[in-house]
Amino acid sequence: MTFSFILNGEDVLVKARSADRLVDLLRERFGLLGPLADCRHGACGKCLILLDGRLAPSCMLPAFKVRGREVITLEGFSQTDEYADIKGGFEEAGLELCGFCDNGRILAVAALLERNARPSRDEILGELSAVPCRCADPETLTQAVAAAAERRARRLYHRARQ
């Protein structure tokens, strides 16, 4: 089948089989290596993308499910101010991720902060439970997200004042 969808802000056309998973299309056809194809049953969170603004595991999306919809990968998100807030917060807290879960964790934090500008420890860890990687500890993750939230709040405040 051939269909179009919006990928990182651009209209794209793709030919795919119904059995193709979106994560493989993104990586192999579009060269977008942010989402990783790992567990392939929605458990590891490494393939997360934003589908119409919501977190979704791209391994659980057969190609036809994105027809006419908007997909944002880490590559697309990395052009945003929100991404800079998150990266800055992570660095400020000294959070070192393993390089495999970054995609899922960054997008999960983005989705969380969009809904909740000042999440609590439980809310942060609840959201990040979608990316169960062993590389980082809960405390540093919490501090990193709190730092990201702080940066985001300051940026929005300054923007509002302009």
Partner 1 sequence: MPEGENPRAAQAEPRLSDLLPAGGLQVVTIRSPSPRGRLLGVEAPHLPKGYLLIEARDLPGANRISCFGSELPILAEGRIAFSGEPVALLAGPDTAVLADIVAKVKVRVEEEEPLVNWESFSSEQVAAKRVASLGDPELAFSIADKVVERSYRAEALEHWYSEPQGALASFDYDKLEIRCATQWPYHVRDSVARALGTKPEDVVVRPTRLGAHLDGKLWYPSLLACHAALAAFLGKRSARLLLSREEDFLYSPKRAPEAVALRAALDKSGNLSALDVRMSIHVGAQAPLAEELLSQACLAVQGAYVCPNLRLEGYAVTTNSPPLGAFGGLGAAPAFLAIESLSTELAEAAGMDPIEWKSRNLLRKGSRLLAGDPLKEDTPFDAIAEQLCRASDFRRKWAAYELVRKRRSCRSEGPMRGIGLAFAHQTGVFLSGSGPNSYTVEACLDKDLRLLLKTSAAICKGGIADIWRQSAAEILGIPADKVSIAPPDTDGSPNSGPVTLSRGLSVVNRLVERACTAIQKRRFRDPLPISAKAIHRLPSSSAWEPNRVAGSPLESAAWGGAVVEVELDSWTLEPRTLGLWLCVEGGRIVSHARAASALRAAASAALSSCMRERLAFERGAISREAFLSYETLPLAEVPPILVEFLEAERRSPAKGLGELPFDTVPAAFLSAVSQAAGIHFTTLPLGPDALSALEDA
Partner 2 sequence: MLVSEVHQPRDLSELLSLMRRLPGATLYAGGTELLREQASRYVTLPPELVSIASLLELRQVSLTERFVELGACLTLTEVLELKESALPELLALALRGVATAPIRNLATIGGNLATRSRFMDVWPALACLDALVELRDGSGARWINLNRLADDDGRPAFPAGVLLSRIRIPLERWDAVALRKVGRCGYPSRDSAVFALAARAEKGILAEFRLAFAGERALRLRDVESRILGRRLPLSAKERSAFAVEYREAATVLSPELALRFGTLVDGALDLLSR
What are the residues binding partner 2 (CB under 8 A)? 1, 17-21, 24, 39-43, 45, 48, 51, 54-57, 60-62, 64-65, 67, 108, 111, 127, 129-130
Nearer residue to partner 1 within complex by CB, 37 or 153: 37
Q: Is residue 126 near partner 1 by the rule CB under 8 A?
A: yes
Cα–Cα distances in angstroms (integers) from residue 5 to residues 2, 30, 51, 69, 152, in the given order: 10, 13, 11, 5, 29
Nearer residue to partner 1 within complex by CB, 42 or 69: 42
Output the smallest distance, CB 93 to partner 2, in A: 22
**Binding piece for partner 1, criterion CB under 8 A, among 6-14, 62-70, 97-105, 148-156:** 97-105
Output the smallest distance, CB 45 to partner 2, in A: 7
Which residue in 14, 141, 145, 146 binds partner 1 (CB under 8 A)? Answer: 141
> Going residue by residue from 2 to 41, which x/- string records binding to partner 1, judged by CB under 8 A?
--------------------------x----x--xxxxxx
Three-class SS string for the chain?
CEEEEEECCEEEEEECCCCCEHHHHHHHHCCCCCCCCCCCCCCCCCCEEEECCEEEEHHHCEHHHHCCCEEECHHHHCCCHHHHHHHHHHHHCCCCCCCCCHHHHHHHHHHHHHHCCCCCHHHHHHHHCCCCCCCCCHHHHHHHHHHHHHHHHHHHHHHHHC
Output the smallest distance, CB 148 to partner 1, in A: 16
Other CB atoms within 10 A of residue 68 CB: 9
State the residues that interact with partner 1 by CB under 8 A: 28, 33, 36-41, 43-44, 94, 96, 98-101, 121-122, 125-126, 128-129, 132-141
